[in-house]
Structure 1
């Protein structure tokens, strides 16, 4: 594979780099260094890096976010890749139900108007995300209101009664034992020092 990465045509070299990464013979750090230094000008190394991020969006979105953050920070001269990294981060945040962060990433994509394929998709996504965010906020407010309502507030005495009633079968077993009380009430525990 290393020979193919050095001698093959552009597509062969790209496939060889991808395979070397999958075999752990080439690290992400090395790929980023190659992209930054443009050590193989015929192969778009940033595309390989982005492909690694894409492959992890559904299986490990947090790793994908970290990788896309690194693309944004380490490869600022690759404008399309930076815009695309923001786009894919928005997808990851949506999967994680972090709608505020997803909307923020969509806003970042709109700063790259010349990449219409990304910005047009983001406009639709922003509308959907705002609806999801509003729905989530509404549900939280309803839940908060229910928890604060008088019906939800339980007095300490009511709580004790509920706990005791759930323990009735346990007390009944104790009370029916030879050392238990004769009347089956729950007023006394058996005296362990007293011999029957």
Structure 2
């Protein structure tokens, strides 16, 4: 049993797996067998994807984490949100508002490590949530939002090794908490 299947089972969700696909490239044979788990909550849904490449890859190909966790919210947000690690140059040239006394030390650490762009209201709710501000600095994550018609999709992509169910569950807890924060403040955040 793979870790997506195991975590999905533990969370009471449904697990789906694609058939094995095989392709040939100049860099070698590409064999994939993608899978995902779907966890339906009362107010939103979460999908945990595993893009598994079982083939031979070219030497210069970069492999990232095969996991992506998606939060599907049944309404459109006013603005998209993106959260990504600050680059070395961003840390040098940008001024982080760490002198704000209303923010906790954990929130100031998040602002030092991550760039939060887009939805200012959602950024404020994230920085005022004690769970998110404590756990985000411990990971290297990319979170992006896509708004389609009347739904919002937040994608979390880790840029770190995830090898156990416990590690994947930590990432799941981040996106789950984001869903709770967004749904709690939906009247302010939605169009």
Shared fold (TM-score, shorter chain, > 0.5): no
In terms of fraction of residues, the more helix-rich structure is 1
TM-score normalized by the length of structure 1: 0.21
Structure whose alpha-carbon radius of gyration is higher: 1
TM-score normalized by the length of structure 2: 0.22
In terms of fraction of residues, the more strand-rich structure is 2
Where relative contact order (Cα < 8 A, 6+ residues apart) is larger, the structure is 2
